Amino acid sequence: MIQLQHVSYNYQRQEVLKDISLSFPIGQIIGIAGENGSGKSTLLKIIAGIQRPRKGTISLYDESLSRRHAADIAYLPDMDLFYSFYTTKELFTFYASQFSDFSIHKALEVANFLEVDVDVKLKKLSKGNRGRAKMAATLGRNTAYYVMDEPFSGLDPIVRESLIKGLIRYTNMEEQSIILSTHELHEVEPILDQLIVLKQGKVIAQDDLETIRFETNQDAVSWMKYVTKEKVN
């Protein structure tokens, strides 16, 4: 389990995250939502071990989490950070050279499911197909946690639906978890087990989707809007 205890993070003089305590168990799909600038990307980078908190602790399996835990966490950034001159197949070969848990066979299977032409250079793919290629590369790893920053951002509904189906099909929810930030709550809600809402660097709400639906009689989007409006500094 990933655990954060009283985590804060500053960028220059700005406090981006403020006293966050969360736990992320195995076997769940957990959504992180909030307004732009609420701290979602920074939180995911800390969970992935890419950035270190200024205060507080983050642990995985009761050990302090750092970059050396890359074998346990597969991180999908929100930006295109891949070499554009690679084909998708060459990207998979590169991943295999970097991560011992990477399966080229699985990545190719995911790419085929997502209908990605693996022999075309990434720079020649549409944004939607680059998103599919990134997803295939991430799911090609056999890790306990998939941490994904806005994996559906800017993509059309058909591509988003395809990626969501790929997530479900190629993740073993008995042994793995997905932590993702998203603005596309309406599409993602059916697969979420839990939703966390950030505002100005703070966790203002966290609940199971089942509880949200049956106790508040709201969908995830309505609930997020309500708690964001109600919570103040």
Q: What are 169-190's pLDDT values in tens digits?
A: 999 999 999 999 998 898 899 9
Domain 2-230 has CATH 3.40.50.300: yes
Cα dist. 10→46, 201, 216 in Å? 12, 10, 35
Q: What are 195-204's pLDDT values in tens digits?
A: 999 999 999 9
Question: Which pLDDT score is estimated for 214?
Answer: 92
Nearest to 31 by CA among 226, 215, 212, 231: 212
Whole-structure pTM over 0.95, yes or no?
Answer: no
Q: How confident is the model at residue 163 (pLDDT cuts 50, 70, 90)?
A: very high
User: For residue 178, what is the enclosing H or E element?
Assistant: strand 177-181
Under a CB-based contact definition with an 8 Å cutoff, are residues 181 and 37 in contact? no
Residue 232 pLDDT exceeds 70: no
Which value, in Å, is the radius of gyration of the alpha carbons in the chain?
17
Under a CB-based contact definition with an 8 Å cutoff, are residues 199 and 35 in contact? yes
Average pLDDT over every residue of 49-72: 82
Residue 70 pLDDT exceeds 70: no
Residues 6+ positions from 215 with CB-CB distance below 8 Å: none
